[in-house]
A and B are shown apart, each in its own frame.
Chain A
Amino acid sequence: MATDAAARMPEASAFSEQGALTRAMTDLAGPALGRPPRGWWICFAVAVSALAVGVVAVTYQLRTGIGTWGLNRSVGWAYDITNFVFWIGVGHAGTLISAILLLFRQRWRAGVSRAAETMTIIAIVCAAIFPVIHLGRPWLMWWVLPLPNTRGPLWVNFSSPLTWDVFAILTYFVVSLLFWYLGLLPDFASLSHAATGWRRRVFGWLSLGWNGSLRTWTRYERTCLLLAGLATALVISVHSVVSFDFAASLVPGWHTTIFPPYFVVGAIFSGMAMVLALLVVMRRAMALQAYVTLQQLDALCKIMLATSGLLGLAYLIETLTALYGNHGPDRFMLMLRMQGPLAAYYWAMIACNVLVPQLLWSGTVRRNLPLVFAIALLALAGMWLERFLIIVGSLQRDFLPSSWVDYLPTRVEVATLVGSFGLFLVCFLLFCRWLPVVSIAESRARHRTRLQVVDR
């Protein structure tokens, strides 16, 4: 009987390959099966407090109404859409790492892909909060879907970029979730093996009966490649569609064809910054130096540097188009950004997104993790400022000088943003607590490759 066979297994660490397999298991499955360290509890307490602030704020604004926001007759989109675009952008790095780098056979992505994919899914949820609240009556949210109804049936307007947004983001969420869950399947089986008690049963249920059959593995790899190809096209389309919300309008500073690539590059840049910030802390806190290596962080830094360069190019092209195009309102908007009431934001954005990341040209900087962490946080701040500048900057100076007004966020809006960060961190910490933050199966496969190289 095979049960006896399992009992008669020799000591695993007797062989080098075996030892590595087991070690990957203990290192990566450990946090999911044990008790979290004190540092985790401190982080979790902070995150839950931030989330509580957000819950109070959201409850208040749902009971009272959107009048609690600082929006006015000209600036009808401000903090909420800024945060929405910001969070959706942050999510993009996960798909880039898991899909595009998989297609390019970048083995090093194994250490960072799980955390990045998780980040994507949580970021989409965080992003969705803002437009849903902005609806005013969130319980009618399903009206954005073309469902048969007793109102006519009245359908959604398929010519509206806002409707495209709904489809793009829902598709993005579903495909990201599918990709993430498929990646977790073998790990759930491993966890179920290593765990005892109720965890064993729950992880077993989640593993869908994964048994490591090579026939399944072959199909699995094919499925992952197909999904990666789809997700690559998807990730480009999602932020392009988000940018159509602006580009398809006539507002100066929005109505420009550079927006889709500009938004996608910015999204990847901010996403890389978020991944780096999370990983630098996570690998230290969870002792994952052997799995999330300096080389991997180095590669992420280089992607961030490249996207920063592309972003700088986009800023330059935007400026050139406004100057060369000789279109009054466009030029006015450019001058307004550089010299108007939000000029400080503009130059801070240039510094955070284009100038500071140039430090990453230096290998010394890329290996200095506290510095990388700081650069990543600045990049996140810079990308947030960029969206704020695009949205509020353009709306508060319309074609009609009579509708020029200024916008200031209210405390309720700031609290909602704090709450979204709280939600993000709570979900991410729970992920660190309950699931292997680095793919066990991929780490083993990677280790196998390294052994083979050594053998030769």
Chain B
Amino acid sequence: MSEYGLLATFETETALVEAARAVDSAGHTIVDAYAPYPIEGLPALAHDEASRVGWACLGGGVLGAVGGLTLQAWTSAVSWPLDIGGKPQLAWLAFIPVAFELMVLGAAAGAGVAFLMLSRLRPRWRTPGWRDTWPHDRFVLEVAATGVARLESARSLLRASGAVVVSERGNDRVISSPTATAQSFRWLDRTLIGVACAATVLSLLLWPDWTRRNLIYAPDMAVSPAVTTYSSSAVSEDAPTLRAPVPGTVPRGPLPLHYEATEADALRAAVELQVPPAIAAEPDRLRAEELFEIFCQPCHGSDGHGDGITIKRGFQPPPSLLTQHARDMRDGQMFHVVTYGQKLMPSQASQVRADDRWRLILHVRRLQQRLPVDPPPFGSPAATEPPRQ
């Protein structure tokens, strides 16, 4: 630039703008001006690099958008294509939001970085000369002049324009020497950089294997203690994790039955089993009715005549629950029938709890009390014999 520079300080914005016009029309070069807030209308500063910020913004945006689309397409369709619910892997519509966000991010970063770089702004403890020019309460005009004569004419022009102070500035732009205290903060920069370098080197030396996790700082949940059913684990080194129950273990709830699904065992149950006193005392009729409607009624019919909906659709009819034979059947035998099944009737044990099976039997008994006796089914042995008393 120039050999000499003049810094003229003004009290007001208007004075600065007027002085700048005068200096400009006198043919001097305005290097820059310094103000606490942006001022418009200064001559010779109209040309600026502001448009370069715009270009950087555009470039960043294009880079972000194209990069975003490429990243999504490559990861979704090339690197590891996953079939997620049969959806297309190149789902361009679904890629729009992320591409848009990355475009905005790229554009903002482009503008921001370009601004900082063009303005040479970066963190530093020691800033050359800025305390003199950064005017937190005044306005400064920097004028360049080549040669002593030009310098003096510019100086007098500035004085005439109302500058309260006009001072010279060296070409190196460093006016005030860095203070010792500011310099003393440099150790922080150096320490931080040193720590970062040491950490990088140490990490490379100590953990050279990048394919493995090397430092586990919260192991409890990062490495899950879950084990598979049949593998050995810390608590069961000799056998699968799933252990057999201790011999003689009894499940919770009703006691297990020791019967087979045979007619002989049904007769044995008739003698051995009775309605549990607790259920006899509190039969819970409503529940029994509900269960009968769900599990028995489809074949046996609501009243137990053996005319349920499945029969109307062609299923083999069961004998009526109201026959004398059924009335004579002991509770225990009926329980065996419900639990293990009989002829076409399947076992109900898996869907009706033991106590509920007793409730159902009590419900059948109530039906038998309420309704008249049905004749034995046609062709059965009971139909040819007189009913037993």
Q: Which residues of A contact B (CB under 8 A)?
A: 1-6, 8-10, 12, 15, 17-18, 21-22, 25, 65, 136-137, 139-140, 146, 150, 152-159, 161, 163-164, 167-168, 170-171, 174-175, 178, 182, 185-186, 189-190, 193-194, 201, 204-206, 208-223, 226-227, 230-231, 233-234, 237, 241, 244, 440-442, 444-445, 448
Task: Say yes or no: is B152 at the interface (Cβ < 8 Å to chain A).
Answer: no
Task: Say yes or no: is B124 at the interface (Cβ < 8 Å to chain A).
Answer: yes
Closest chain A residue to B169, Cβ basis:
A2
Task: Say yes or no: is B350 at the interface (Cβ < 8 Å to chain A).
Answer: no
CB-CB under 8 A from B121, the residues of chain A are 185, 208-210, 216
CB-CB under 8 A from B91, the residues of chain A are 158-159
A sample of 29 inter-chain contacts (CB < 8 A) reads A2-B176, A6-B131, A6-B132, A17-B12, A18-B11, A18-B12, A18-B138, A21-B137, A140-B222, A146-B71, A146-B75, A155-B79, A158-B91, A159-B84, A164-B101, A167-B98, A167-B101, A171-B105, A204-B127, A204-B182, A209-B124, A215-B48, A218-B45, A222-B51, A226-B111, A230-B57, A237-B100, A441-B36, A442-B37
Contact B33–A171 (Cβ < 8 Å): no
CB-CB under 8 A from A204, the residues of chain B are 125, 127, 182
CB-CB under 8 A from A206, the residues of chain B are 123
Contact A168–B101 (Cβ < 8 Å): yes
Q: A159-B91, A212-B133, A215-B48 are in contact. List 18 more A-B contacts (CB 8 A).
A: A17-B13, A21-B136, A153-B80, A163-B98, A178-B108, A190-B36, A193-B131, A193-B134, A205-B124, A209-B127, A211-B130, A215-B32, A215-B45, A230-B107, A233-B100, A234-B104, A241-B101, A444-B37
Contact A211–B133 (Cβ < 8 Å): yes
Bound complex: CA A220 to CA B211 (Å)? 45
CB-CB under 8 A from B123, the residues of chain A are 205-206, 208
Contact A1–B120 (Cβ < 8 Å): no
Bound complex: CA A218 to CA B84 (Å)? 51
Contact with A along B7-50 (1 / 0, CB 8 A): 10101110000000000000000001111111100100100111
Closest chain B residue to A3, Cβ basis:
B176
Beyond A5-B132, A155-B79, A175-B104, whether A237 also contacts B97 by CB under 8 A is yes
Task: Say yes or no: is B323 at the interface (Cβ < 8 Å to chain A).
Answer: no
Bound complex: CA A249 to CA B118 (Å)? 47
Contact A158–B75 (Cβ < 8 Å): yes
Closest chain B residue to A204, Cβ basis:
B127
Beyond A205-B125, A212-B133, whether A226 also contacts B54 by CB under 8 A is yes
The smallest C-beta distance from A203 to any residue of chain B, in angstroms, reads 11
The smallest C-beta distance from A141 to any residue of chain B, in angstroms, reads 13
Closest chain A residue to B75, Cβ basis:
A155
CB-CB under 8 A from B346, the residues of chain A are none
Task: Say yes or no: is B239 at the interface (Cβ < 8 Å to chain A).
Answer: no
CB-CB under 8 A from A8, the residues of chain B are 165
Main secondary structure of the interface of B (DSSP, over half): mixed
Partner of B221, one of A137, A170, A227: A137
Contact B112–A218 (Cβ < 8 Å): no
Bound complex: CA A278 to CA B326 (Å)? 82
Bound complex: CA A157 to CA B97 (Å)? 13
Q: Which residues of B contact A (CB under 8 A)?
A: 7, 9, 11-13, 32-39, 42, 45, 48-51, 53-54, 57, 71-72, 75-76, 79-80, 82, 84, 87, 91, 94-95, 97-98, 100-102, 104-105, 107-109, 111-112, 114-116, 118-125, 127, 129-138, 140, 164-165, 167-169, 175-176, 181-182, 185, 210-211, 217-218, 221-222
Contact B167–A219 (Cβ < 8 Å): no
Beyond A220-B115, A227-B111, A241-B97, whether A208 also contacts B53 by CB under 8 A is no
Bound complex: CA A189 to CA B104 (Å)? 29
Beyond A209-B127, A212-B135, whether A139 also contacts B122 by CB under 8 A is no
Main secondary structure of the interface of A (DSSP, over half): helix
Closest chain A residue to B9, Cβ basis:
A5
Bound complex: CA A244 to CA B94 (Å)? 11
Contact B102–A167 (Cβ < 8 Å): yes
CB-CB under 8 A from B115, the residues of chain A are 182, 219-220, 222-223
Bound complex: CA A242 to CA B119 (Å)? 37
Contact B136–A25 (Cβ < 8 Å): yes
Contact A226–B100 (Cβ < 8 Å): no
Beyond A5-B165, A215-B32, whether A189 also contacts B7 by CB under 8 A is no
Contact B75–A222 (Cβ < 8 Å): no
Beyond A159-B84, A209-B122, whether A150 also contacts B36 by CB under 8 A is no
Contact B53–A2 (Cβ < 8 Å): no
The smallest C-beta distance from B14 to any residue of chain A, in angstroms, reads 9
Closest 8 A/B residue pairs (Cβ): A155-B75, A2-B132, A445-B37, A208-B121, A222-B50, A217-B38, A211-B130, A164-B97
Contact A158–B94 (Cβ < 8 Å): yes
CB-CB under 8 A from A175, the residues of chain B are 104-105, 108
Closest chain A residue to B57, Cβ basis:
A226
Bound complex: CA A185 to CA B29 (Å)? 28
Beyond A212-B133, A214-B32, A214-B35, whether A219 also contacts B105 by CB under 8 A is no
Contact A218–B136 (Cβ < 8 Å): no
Contact A194–B136 (Cβ < 8 Å): yes
Bound complex: CA A164 to CA B210 (Å)? 29
Bound complex: CA A159 to CA B76 (Å)? 9
The smallest C-beta distance from B9 to any residue of chain A, in angstroms, reads 6
Contact A174–B33 (Cβ < 8 Å): no
Bound complex: CA A369 to CA B94 (Å)? 46
Contact A215–B221 (Cβ < 8 Å): no
The smallest C-beta distance from A288 to any residue of chain B, in angstroms, reads 19
CB-CB under 8 A from B107, the residues of chain A are 226, 230
CB-CB under 8 A from A244, the residues of chain B are 97
Contact A214–B111 (Cβ < 8 Å): no
The smallest C-beta distance from B30 to any residue of chain A, in angstroms, reads 9
Partner of A157, one of B53, B84, B112, B116: B84
Contact B94–A213 (Cβ < 8 Å): no
Partner of A164, one of B38, B53, B98, B119: B98
The smallest C-beta distance from B23 to any residue of chain A, in angstroms, reads 14
Bound complex: CA A212 to CA B82 (Å)? 54
Bound complex: CA A237 to CA B182 (Å)? 44
Contact A159–B38 (Cβ < 8 Å): no
The smallest C-beta distance from A285 to any residue of chain B, in angstroms, reads 25
Contact A157–B127 (Cβ < 8 Å): no
The smallest C-beta distance from A353 to any residue of chain B, in angstroms, reads 27
Closest chain A residue to B39, Cβ basis:
A214
CB-CB under 8 A from A214, the residues of chain B are 32-35, 38-39, 42, 45
CB-CB under 8 A from A158, the residues of chain B are 72, 75-76, 91, 94-95, 98
Residue from B79, B108, B121 whose CB has the most chain A CB atoms within 10 Å: B108
Partner of B137, one of A25, A182, A227: A25
CB-CB under 8 A from A233, the residues of chain B are 100, 104
Contact A15–B165 (Cβ < 8 Å): no
Bound complex: CA A219 to CA B121 (Å)? 12
Beyond A186-B36, A208-B123, A220-B115, whether A1 also contacts B167 by CB under 8 A is yes
Partner of A216, one of B75, B82, B119, B140: B119
Contact A227–B108 (Cβ < 8 Å): yes
CB-CB under 8 A from B35, the residues of chain A are 212, 214, 217
Bound complex: CA A10 to CA B123 (Å)? 32
Contact B76–A155 (Cβ < 8 Å): yes
Bound complex: CA A159 to CA B33 (Å)? 52
Bound complex: CA A152 to CA B124 (Å)? 43
Contact A12–B112 (Cβ < 8 Å): no
Contact A211–B124 (Cβ < 8 Å): no
CB-CB under 8 A from B36, the residues of chain A are 21, 186, 190, 212, 440-441, 444
CB-CB under 8 A from B100, the residues of chain A are 233, 237
